[in-house]
Structure 1
């Protein structure tokens, strides 16, 4: 359906992730911004678990080898279809032979760094342990367990009737669900098991300082830089289960946030965990940018998850309503 003409390292096929495999030592993987991928699938009428292309290194260029409806969500990457500018978060239709160009994302008030190319029917690659997501460390899933390369061809699954959904788009969740502190993107964090083992100064820094995302960050974990988080006393823990969102603190005091390709176990102390409803926000933060942490509680975390669920439900309702109206014309 499409041929990759130009791509960069780390661009991969991802879906909503590999669930239920942690007991075998297999991480979840999946889109760093799962909300953007979900929105793209909603726009196209795809199955909720359909795979798309996560693009985090630009430029990206692809040729459509057949007529295809598609949507680009996530960061505004100044997309062009041949020479025609395309709005983000909008259903588009390409004809066979047309070329799609995605350029370096524009940076607005909410800085975003990753775009998602969703195709009608989803990217058709083999399902491995219940998911089409690429796991680079294990070299499985996606397209042969690897990053996309120039010359790769990707097929799509069976598409639903999407013609009725053309000329329709969604507001990005960063606009509908904003969360900023002092003009910086923020994520909500629950104190974790070893939180009480850190000094008062460490607690103050965690909640009141901006944390820089260093160049040593990737899909496995975001390494942050700021005031070192000091412990009250040395802590020794055995390796234990961890999940995406967990904030570990190695001996140097610089926190690491586990991301979607996180290993399933680790031994560093845990000072907090980014709530599931906000992981997409962190997943869009560019390398070199700064973020803030907001202390939250369990009930607020549940409320945030419910808010995200409502946003997706509203998006589906609007897409279906538009489709019904378009189909009646």
Structure 2
């Protein structure tokens, strides 16, 4: 059996795909990858569907080895780096991890979440249609948990054939402000609170995980109390409890909640918001439903166009290769007098 063997990893390394859809009415959180565009990119590099489960690394990287055969792998997200047996792999490029070789995933440098995909995905049985691990319910994952050193993840050997490719497209532009739609309970807040929410700078606090990001900043006053009849929650809802400090609900969120929600981060900006680290400043900007829908369609189109932005890798960009190549075809002295044509 072809396996990806985990030698080392951080405590919040998990399997994540698009999420566990269709079960919220039973109280089951969707979970899923925090940055779904990075998940789609790394899957495209190995020929997988965009929503295929991959390893999600939170802040820390790890070391992994191929066992029982070669593996086609790729890494994307948070500026993390990939090395195989000490050789750096160019960003957003498929790599071949030979049987017995070790890959090293570096720590997140420009965000929080990085994703490593294997061609064909992992040969692990889903739970309720997903491999996404939800820590609080222990649904999904590998053996009902997060990834641990010593885990052996079975891979689909028949999917490992194929040439490496490189992504040549543009990454999504990061917005200066996080776009939101006000509501659904913005009427529970004073006019001053809504003005402060849209005009002030907030900061991501250390109380941030896959369930929600708590923000520090100006206190947002309620106009009609801070309790409502519990209603449904979606990714990006911004609850404001009695203390007046917003909490942006993320992929592992609960399915219902009893605090009023001043606004909702639009789906197209939630991937970027998820990559913000504790201490990062954040500002919000209210947009219309039409702008939110247009942004969602643009994000969907970017994912759909990923296969068209891939080109074959003709050779390995290693130091040894560059030194063995004649990169100079001649020299010219720009100061020499021009010789007249004969």
**Same fold at TM > 0.5:** yes
Residue number in structure 1 paired with 2:51: 49
Structure ID, larger Rg: 2
1-structure distance, mates of 2:202, 2:91: 29
Residue number in structure 2 paired with 1:216: 207
1:179 is aligned, of 171, 175, 181, to: 175
Equivalent residues in 2 for 1:1-329, closer than 5 Å: 1-65=3-67, 66-107=69-110, 112-157=111-156, 160=159, 163-164=162-163, 166-171=164-169, 173=171, 176-180=172-176, 186-319=177-310, 322=311
Gaps of 5+ in 1: 181-185
Would you say the 8 A contact 2:39–2:115 is kept in 1? yes
Would you say the 8 A contact 2:169–2:309 is kept in 1? no
Deviation of 1:36 (Å):
0.6
- Normalization by structure 2: what TM-score? 0.86
Deviation of 1:172 (Å):
5.9
Deviation of 1:78 (Å):
2.7
Would you say the 8 A contact 2:58–2:108 is kept in 1? no
Matched residue count: 311
Which range is displaced more, 151-160 or 283-292? 151-160
2-structure distance, mates of 1:120, 1:236: 47
1-structure distance, mates of 2:292, 2:166: 31
User: Structure 1 segments of 4 or more deviating over 3 A?
Assistant: 157-162
Would you say the 8 A contact 2:71–2:160 is kept in 1? no
Would you say the 8 A contact 1:80–1:86 is kept in 2? yes
Question: Cα distance 1:55–1:171, how it changes in 2: closer, same or farther (>3 A)?
Answer: farther
2-structure distance, mates of 1:157, 1:305: 32
Deviation of 1:19 (Å):
0.7
Gaps of 5+ in 2: 315-342
Would you say the 8 A contact 1:77–1:102 is kept in 2? yes
Q: Write out per-residue CA displacement over residues 251-276 of structure 1, whole angstroms, 9 at most, x where no aligned residue.
A: 00111111000010110001000111
Would you say the 8 A contact 1:138–1:145 is kept in 2? no
Deviation of 1:238 (Å):
1.4
Residue number in structure 1 paired with 2:326: none
Residue number in structure 1 paired with 2:321: none
